[in-house]
Amino acid sequence: MLKQINLRTRRRDEMLDITAEVAQAVSQARIQDGIAIVYCPHTTAGIAINENADPDVKHDVLLRLDEVYPWEHPRYRHAEGNTASHLKAITTGTSQTVIIAQGRLLLGRWQGIYFCEFDGPRDRTCFVKTLEG
């Protein structure tokens, strides 16, 4: 089953917790054992799994990504001016795979699934593909 998740981001850099939406896709698929693939079809956004208990983690991750990939750099050449967004998306990756066990996402106690926006605000889409097995 393929489920589309539509998102609206509000800031240039933002991590949106989409764990509940992915869990809903798994529930709708009625799969007891298998995998869920969460995929982002954008070149300036990504998907990550990380801690979702302390909001300071999101802050710190975005802060460090900005330090590693500053928005402006004298040697960037991309005409749209969003090279940092592309680099951040490459770093986070376009997808994550999560095991489904007993009809639920097999995530660690503190883990959540994040849509990572690096060139917002925008209307965005991600997909959840569930596979039985």
* Residue 17 CA: distances (Å) to CA of 47, 53, 102: 10, 11, 22
Q: Residue 20 is encoded by which pair of tokens? A: 């509940």
The distance from CA 90 to its chain's CA centroid, rounded to whole angstroms, is 12
Distance CA 42, CA 38 (A): 13
pTM score, two decimals? 0.95
In the chain the domains, ranked by start, together with CATH numbers, are 2-132 (2.60.120.460)
Distance CA 101, CA 36 (A): 10
> pLDDT 10s per residue in the chain (133 long)?
999 999 999 999 999 999 999 999 999 999 999 999 999 999 999 999 999 999 999 999 999 999 999 999 999 999 889 999 999 999 999 999 999 999 999 999 999 999 999 999 999 999 999 999 8
